């Protein structure tokens, strides 16, 4: 687990592209700049592409950590 203060958490276990990014983006839209979103993923291609797409959207990817056998967390700060 990360030490970063997380404002919203999104469990996307069982979801694949493109829904992993779409659902993350929809939550991000409800958040304020500066707030932090933690996304839980169990689909490897999304672990690469959700952060990539978030960066292209101008958001700040703080951490990508493997937290289980087939489980990852992506922590993103909303910039805009």
> Contact positions toward other proteins, by CB under 8 A?
16-18, 21, 43-46, 48-49, 52-53, 56
| CA–CA dist 80, 77 (Å, integer) | 9
Shortest distance (Å) from residue 48 CB to other proteins: 5
Shortest distance (Å) from residue 72 CB to other proteins: 14
Tell me, yes or no, if 43 is annotated catalytic.
Answer: no
Torsions phi, psi of 46, nearest 5? -70, -30
| CA–CA dist 49, 36 (Å, integer) | 18
- The catalytic residue among 10, 17, 27, 31 is 17
Q: Which residues are catalytic?
A: 17
């Amino acid at each position: 687990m990360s030490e970063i203060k997380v404002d919203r958490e999104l469990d996307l276990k069982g979801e694949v592209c493109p829904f992993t990014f779409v659902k993350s983006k929809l939550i991000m839209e409800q958040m304020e700049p500066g707030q932090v979103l933690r996304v839980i993923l169990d689909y490897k291609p999304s672990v690469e592409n959700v952060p990539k797409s978030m960066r292209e959207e101008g958001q700040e990817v703080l951490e990508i950590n493997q937290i289980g056998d087939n489980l990852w967390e992506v922590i993103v700060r909303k910039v805009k």
